[in-house]
Amino acid sequence: VRIDVFFHGGAAGQSDLSGRVVLVIDVLRASTTIATALHNGARAVVPFEGVDEATARARTLDRREVILAGERRMVTVPGFDLGNSPREFTGEVVAGKTILLTTTNGTAAMVAPQGAAEVVIGAFVNYTAVLALLRGAARAGTSLSIVCAGSGGRFTLEDAVCAGRFVRGVSRRGIQPELGDAARVAAMIDRGIGGDVEAMLRACDHGRELIAAGYEADLAACAGVDTHPVVPVLRDRQLVPLAARKRR
Ligand code: MLT
């Protein structure tokens, strides 16, 4: 069993993901938003790469059952119901709804993996729940690919720390996976600076951009470990919560 980490969404495209469990991470903020929405009772989140695609799909659906959500340059897309702040996705707003979501980097990374055995979405807010799925897969002999959304094809610290935490979480208590070089580096990064997640989020590039754009409160929401224990998995191009009994 092997664990590979890709430090931006595009990097995974050149790799053979077939038969693997693929974990996609966009801590700031798409993964956190998706876990929050599903934990708060949304029926499904449908990720889209483009704004036009999401808008076109919304036109084909009953608008009373659908929420159109997403950001560009961190701000709500004009005409959309919600942006990409996890704090917007409360139970009152999302329960029973299907959310069509498009974000700059995160949702594109989620629709990209081809041939995977499973695509799962992770962040700090659902860390332990997702870790249980990854450990179960590794124990059963399935290799893991962890895809960091990154930003515009670049490395992002917050996704690397979170990826490293998953690498470290899988690689203990009787599981000794072979680690690719990037997986080793991610684990080192988490060990080095992952101790205070909120401080790390406040210091990283995108965290500082979010503060400047008025989304400072989102950082605390994204830093909460295990606040939204749900496992979003891709089924027929929709992210739905994995039933609790299937997690192990
Ligand atoms: C992205 O997909 O690039 C992020 O989720 C951007 C954001 O903070 O909204």
Q: Tokens at residue 113, please?
A: 């993996």
Dig out the tokens for 19 from the structure: 């038969």
Say if CB 131 and CB 232 are below 8 A apart: no
Give the angle subtended at the CA of 203 by the CAs of 198 and 207, to the nearest 5°: 75
* Contact criterion met (CB below 8 Å) for 136 and 235: no
Whole-number Å distance, alpha carbon 1 to ligand 1 midpoint, is 31
For helices 30-39 and 216-223, angle between their N-to-C axes, nearest 10 degrees: 70
- Quote the CA–CA distance of 61 and 56 in Å, as a whole number: 9
Q: Ligand 1 in contact with 109 (CB < 6 A)?
A: no
Query: Coil, strand, or helix at residue 174?
Result: coil
| 232-235 vs 21-25, strand pairing mode | unpaired
Neighbours of 248 (CB within 10 A): 9
Q: Are 156 and 5 in contact (CB under 8 A)?
A: no
pLDDT in tens, 84-99: 999 999 999 999 999 9
Query: Residue 227: CB within 6 Å of ligand 1?
Result: no
Pocket test for ligand 1, best of 27, 33, 71 (most atoms within 8 A of CB): 71
Q: Nearest to residue 103, comparing CAs of 75, 122, 61, 65?
A: 75
Closest approach atom of ligand 1 to CA 83 = 9
Q: pLDDT (tens digit, 0 to 9) for every residue of the chain, 248 residues total?
A: 999 999 998 877 767 899 999 999 999 999 999 999 999 999 999 999 999 999 999 999 998 999 999 999 999 999 999 999 999 999 999 999 999 999 999 999 999 888 899 999 999 999 999 999 999 999 999 999 999 999 999 999 999 999 999 999 999 988 999 999 999 999 999 999 999 999 999 999 999 999 999 999 999 999 999 999 999 999 999 999 998 655 44
pLDDT of residue 16: 85
pTM: 0.96
pLDDT of residue 243: 82
156 lines ligand 1 (CB under 6 A): no
CA–centroid distance, residue 26 to ligand 1 (Å): 7
pLDDT score, position 112: 81
